[in-house]
Amino acid sequence: MTSAFLALGTATTYALLNLIGPLALPQSLTVMFVAWLGEHYVSGKGYYYYTPYNGLFVGRVPTWIPLMWVFVVQGGLLLFLSFGFAGVSAAVASGIFCALLDLAFIEPYLSARKTLWHWTPVHAGYFAFIPSKANRFTAPPGNYIVWFVFPALLNVLLITATFVLEIGLG
């Protein structure tokens, strides 16, 4: 999985470099670092744990997880840019897409079917305000909120910083 997501993440970063410009590289590094840090911190709080089937770990996080985040975050943006969305609308659409991808594929397949990680109930957790009766998914509802906010935010920052850089250079 590490090799596959390294190749896929490199491909999306390269595509964004050609399409948007040089800020795609620092964005991919930021996505990897924040994804690793977030996964390490949240898994340490007991929300979920990764199983040994994941191969090599850095801390509590399998090496392929931050690379998957790069591919999904940047791939979502590229998808909507290719559909003709522009700017912030492409970034927000990428967040919606990422949340739906996690809901429909990542959690059901990689967690529930392949058992690469297990979710555990945490009382009074970050998203305790969401009623437990609302949790009819593979992962807690807060997980899907993060899968929307993180890609949308990182892609809005990339689009905005690129625009500001173009204005400054123009």
In this prediction the pTM is: 0.90
Q: pLDDT tens digit string along 90-109? A: 999 999 999 999 999 999 99
- Provide, rounded to the nearest whole percent, the portion of the chain with pLDDT above 90: 76
pLDDT of residue 167: 83
Is it the case that residue 32 has pLDDT exceeding 80? yes
pLDDT of residue 45: 87
Confidence band (pLDDT; 50, 70, 90) for 4? very high
Pair of tokens at residue 145: 């909120």
Phi, then psi, of 131 in degrees rounded to 5: -60, 140
Q: How far apart, in whole angstroms, are the C-alpha atoms of residue 76 and residue 70?
A: 10
pLDDT of residue 52: 94
Pair of tokens at residue 97: 């897409």
Is it the case that residue 170 has pLDDT exceeding 60? no
Is it the case that residue 43 has pLDDT exceeding 60? yes
Across the chain, what does the average pLDDT equal? Answer: 91
